[in-house]
Structure 1
């Protein structure tokens, strides 16, 4: 019996509530894709987490998930499951991710010069050589439409320094409607890890977030 992954998406409308079922969220890594999620706990606490937050709800005294914002709160959960039939076909495959841009030269300058990543180019496509041996493909798409979620998160030890250095290079940080808690730098302090969002030249959303 091999282990795989189960993915699911939960949408909570503005002002909506969803009773917390511990079995539903057991051993699941939860990511807030958009909006704000409030976790109402039996202890009386009600922490809020915004876009980009990663949560582990197993064992927490959560009773209800609420959306206190003005836009849909969208969360994704990934948990492990076991299935019959031996090892999955791709169990040992070294997978990699990728995303599209509408201008390869502009992307190469941004990721290589502005962000300081190691970038290689071959066959008209880029490879971002990220720390941890996780190459990420960047490919051209003329009718590219940016994703509505964060495609890359960069953990940093000092988010204020990182934001200041990027701002000095011309990077502008995003503030999203319906989300309160942004400081003057554009760092979101409304719950969860400190995080600041920005975009690449193609409009893809990236973030820097404070390491614990």
Structure 2
């Protein structure tokens, strides 16, 4: 039923202006549309990301969104760090922490948070 349908990520935020600055300035996403100052839609590759205002922003304790950035992961991690991103460090058996990237089984991965505490990730695989 959904195997050939696009999915849209939904990310809850408290303050739309703060979120817009982060997603546009720090992550470099371009705004596609705005609905009643309550929802901003961004395009990322062939997917859409809807950032919307919610009182429940940041309550998810798991990864909200992952970008598969392939071999660009080291460069992207450096760019994010240069923009003030603090990467999350977890206890992950089987993975080795190298700088801010976890490495193992032929992949690299890193996690960071948006201003509301939503967990975002980049992965190379």
Q: Normalising by structure 1, what TM-score?
A: 0.51
Instruction: Count how many residue pairs are aligned between Structure 1 and Structure 2.
Output: 121
Residue deviations 1:38-57 (CA, integer Å, cap 9, x gap)? xxxxxxxxxxxxxxxxxxxx
Q: Distance in 2 between matches of 1:169 and 1:197?
A: 15
Q: Distance in 2 between matches of 1:92 and 1:155?
A: 19
Which aligned pairs between 1:117-156 and structure 2 lie closer than 5 A? 117-119=29-31, 120-124=33-37, 125-132=39-46, 134-156=47-69
The alignment's C-alpha RMSD in Å is 2.3
- Please name the residue that 2:24 is paired with: 112
- Please name the residue that 2:103 is paired with: 189
Alpha carbons of 1:187 and 1:143: their partners in 2 closer, same or farther (altered >3 Å)? same
Q: Distance in 1 between matches of 2:3 and 2:123?
A: 30
Alpha carbons of 1:94 and 1:131: their partners in 2 closer, same or farther (altered >3 Å)? closer
**Bigger radius of gyration:** 1
* 1:188–1:194 contact (8 Å) kept in structure 2: yes
Q: Distance in 1 between matches of 2:5 and 2:77?
A: 36
2:13 to 97, 101, 105: 101
SS at match of 1:182: strand
